[in-house]
């Protein structure tokens, strides 16, 4: 990809971003985007649309859209206020520190597989909190489109057919197999996919409100199934579940305001620390995609991910040193340790203050309304289709979010992320997350909403898309499509997507990097909406099958 001086971006496979005048929704599944656009056209605000999209994705994008999972909603209002709704799952009361270790003290797959891998779901509570405080349409009207999609069904897309085919966990659970396959065969593109049990659950949620999920028939059935199958979640776990409103983290970079996700997201701290190290470094002068630019950004990532391994967790369960982590003097010290010509081995970079597990699939969507309110939501079941288990009679999948805790603090997880004591399992605690919904402002107005699925790679991907727009002048589509890199401190590897030139890769190797550029490597899937010259510009990642749309 070649970036010309005026911010004009040329690439052989460039696609135009979607442009609309007033309002926009960008999601990773097109039918859900249409639901959001309709809510906006009918006069709903961005929060209303975000709730309706969230319920719709639970039907059309069962991979990650959910009732049985959790996530984060970042809201920036047109008047400048902002807030963050944390509806991350919590560990059930019966959870305990060593619950996923075998007799020899080693982590097992139980945090990912089976009924015990589920945390207490937060999505419905989160949407209810957002609706009660900031919504303007009737709750039932926001659940309505999802009910229709579940009841009448919708045509299976090529992407959904392929994804259902490759989801091994769904065929291991009899109820999931019955729902997500057609009498033992896979759905083909064009088949109609109807989900009557899910439609009934949604219907009850529309009629009876949020308590249906946490105390009503849905809660009873979920708790009964858990008890029968050896799961941990009880009726009182469900009753006790609360979504929490938290103050977003804020900062600035190259003239833009940053509104970022606070813990238990590890993402906002990451974005602010990494932008802080890049600010004033002049890294961008080497040019987008050059070995020198890639190296500098990789070194910044290495330093942040080292800190992530030790200093972050649920803020309600331990004092986090956020002020120290974002202290400009500390960030400068971290930057000063970068050698612009040579990889710093990770063994020389320790979590730096004076004295995670990730994986699976997730989804992100953005909504901007005609008033300039912006909402960025990342929510998840953790792995694709969560733990693959559908609660009998309820039609929705359960998360396996317990795997985001450190089953054994200090030991690398399946994805090589090391996480610390602050993220050890405790009853009622929320696992540390990489989900990074982020909003940028310019001159006090909305400028950009961005976020992604992709486990530990979310944070580095969101960073790069911000840099592509702010420092390299790319439009929303080019910014999300451009090849990405990733470094997470441990393992000490530099991941490079296809599209980075072989010459550049050779240079990076000569500068001391252990490079992984496996064919087909995908580093997160990003959604972005930008406000520019009176237009909204939407970029939906070419690595996914989503859509930006609006009016
Ligand atoms: O919250 C987290 O960090 C993870 N559960 C997110 C998982 C994810 O993004 C997987 N997507 N590819």
| 86 CA to centre of ligand 1 in angstroms | 15
Q: Is the pLDDT of residue 322 over 50?
A: yes
Protein residue with least CA distance to atom 1, ligand 1: 433
| 358 CA to centre of ligand 1 in angstroms | 6
- Map residue 296 onto helix, strand or coil: helix
pLDDT at 351: 86
pLDDT at 410: 86
Q: Is the pLDDT of residue 413 over 80?
A: no
**Residue 519 in contact with residue 498, Cβ under 8 Å?**
yes
The best mutation among 435, 452, 488, 524 to test binding of ligand 1, ranked by most ligand atoms within 8 Å of the C-beta, falls on: 435
Q: 195-225: per-residue pLDDT in tens?
A: 999 999 999 999 999 999 999 999 999 999 9
Q: Choose, from 20, 27, 123, 362, the residue flagged as catalytic.
A: 362
Confidence tier at 411 by pLDDT (50, 70, 90): confident
* CA separation for the pair 446, 440 (Å, rounded): 6
**Residue 458 in contact with residue 270, Cβ under 8 Å?**
no
Q: Is the pLDDT of residue 412 over 90?
A: no
pLDDT at 3: 41
pLDDT at 5: 36
Q: 109-152: per-residue pLDDT in tens?
A: 999 999 999 999 999 999 999 999 999 999 999 999 999 999 99
pLDDT at 361: 74
Q: Is the pLDDT of residue 291 over 50?
A: yes
Q: Is the pLDDT of residue 14 over 80?
A: no
| 124 CA to centre of ligand 1 in angstroms | 19
Structure tokens at 338: 């970068």
Q: Is the pLDDT of residue 7 over 80?
A: no
Q: 234-246: per-residue pLDDT in tens?
A: 999 999 999 999 9
Global confidence as pTM: 0.95
Atom of ligand 1 nearest to the CA of 356: 3
Query: Residues lining ligand 1, judged by CB closer than 6 Å?
Result: 358-362, 380, 382, 401, 404, 433-435, 453-455, 458
pLDDT at 536: 98
Confidence tier at 353 by pLDDT (50, 70, 90): confident
Q: What is the separation, in whole angstroms, between the first and last Cα of the chain?
A: 30
Q: Catalytic: 362?
A: yes
| 360 CA to centre of ligand 1 in angstroms | 6
pLDDT at 416: 67
- Over residues 502-516, the mean pLDDT reads 97
Confidence tier at 355 by pLDDT (50, 70, 90): very low
Atom of ligand 1 nearest to the CA of 525: 12
pLDDT at 359: 40
- Over residues 373-402, the mean pLDDT reads 97
Confidence tier at 357 by pLDDT (50, 70, 90): very low
Q: Is the pLDDT of residue 72 over 70?
A: yes
Q: Is the pLDDT of residue 269 over 50?
A: yes
- Over residues 101-111, the mean pLDDT reads 93
Q: 299-311: per-residue pLDDT in tens?
A: 999 999 999 999 9
* CA separation for the pair 156, 38 (Å, rounded): 21
Sequence-distant (≥ 6) Cβ neighbours of residue 2 within 8 angstroms: 9, 10, 11
- Map residue 65 onto helix, strand or coil: coil
Question: What is the pLDDT of the chain when averaged over all its residues?
Answer: 94
* CA separation for the pair 444, 39 (Å, rounded): 26
């Amino acid at each position: 990809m070649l970036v010309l001086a005026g911010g004009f971006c040329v690439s052989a496979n460039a696609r135009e971003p979607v442009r609309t005048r007033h309002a926009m929704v960008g999601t990773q599944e097109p039918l859900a985007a249409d639901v959001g656009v309709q809510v906006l056209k009918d006069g709903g605000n961005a929060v209303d649309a975000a709730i309706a999209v969230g319920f719709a994705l639970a039907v059309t994008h069962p991979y990650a859209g959910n009732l049985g999972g959790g996530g984060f909603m970042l809201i920036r209002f047109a008047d400048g206020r902002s807030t963050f709704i944390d509806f991350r799952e919590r560990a059930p009361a019966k959870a305990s520190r060593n619950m996923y270790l075998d007799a020899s003290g080693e982590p097992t797959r139980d945090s990912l597989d089976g009924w015990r891998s589920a945390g207490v779901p937060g999505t419905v509570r989160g949407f209810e909190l957002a609706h009660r405080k900031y919504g303007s349409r009737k709750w039932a009207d926001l659940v309505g489109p999802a009910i229709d999609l579940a009841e009448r069904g919708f045509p299976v897309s090529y992407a959904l057919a392929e994804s259902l085919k490759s989801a091994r966990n769904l065929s291991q659970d009899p109820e999931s197999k019955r729902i997500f396959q057609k009498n033992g065969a896979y759905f083909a593109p064009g088949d109609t996919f109807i989900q009557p049990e899910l439609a009934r659950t949604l219907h009850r949620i529309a009629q009876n409100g949020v308590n249906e999920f946490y105390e009503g028939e849905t809660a009873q059935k979920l708790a009964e199934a858990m008890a029968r199958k050896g799961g941990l979640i009880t009726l009182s776990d469900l009753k006790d579940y609360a979504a929490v409103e938290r103050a977003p983290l804020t900062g600035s970079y190259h003239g833009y305001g940053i509104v970022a996700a606070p813990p238990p997201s590890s993402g906002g701290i990451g974005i602010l620390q990494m932008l802080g190290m890049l600010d004033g470094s002049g890294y961008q002068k080497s040019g987008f995609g050059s070995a020198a630019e890639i190296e500098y950004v990789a070194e910044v990532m290495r330093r942040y991910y080292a800190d992530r391994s030790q200093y972050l967790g649920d803020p309600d369960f331990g004092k986090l040193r956020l002020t120290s982590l974002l202290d400009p003097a500390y960030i400068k010290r971290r930057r000063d340790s970068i050698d612009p010509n040579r990889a710093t081995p990770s063994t020389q970079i320790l979590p730096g203050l004076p004295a995670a597990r990730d994986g699976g699939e997730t989804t992100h969507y953005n909504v901007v309304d005609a008033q300039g309110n912006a909402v960025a939501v990342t929510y998840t079941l953790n792995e694709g289709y969560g733990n693959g288990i559908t609660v009998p009679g309820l039609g929705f999948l359960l998360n396996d979010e317990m795997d985001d805790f450190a089953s054994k603090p200090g030991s690398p997880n399946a994805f090589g992320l090391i996480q610390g004591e602050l993220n050890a399992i405790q009853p009622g605690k929320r696992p540390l997350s990489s989900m990074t919904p982020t909003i940028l402002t310019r001159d006090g107005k909305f400028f950009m909403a961005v976020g992604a699925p992709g486990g530990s790679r979310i944070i580095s991907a969101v960073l790069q898309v911000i840099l592509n727009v702010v420092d390299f002048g790319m439009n929303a589509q080019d910014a999300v499509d451009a090849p990405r890199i990733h470094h997470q401190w441990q393992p000490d590897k530099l991941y490079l997507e296809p599209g980075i030139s072989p010459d550049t890769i050779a240079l990076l190797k000569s500068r001391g990097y252990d490079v992984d550029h496996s064919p087909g490597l995908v580093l997160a899937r990003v959604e972005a909406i930008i406000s520019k010259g009176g237009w909204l510009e939407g970029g939906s990642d070419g690595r996914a099958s989503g859509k930006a749309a609006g009016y």
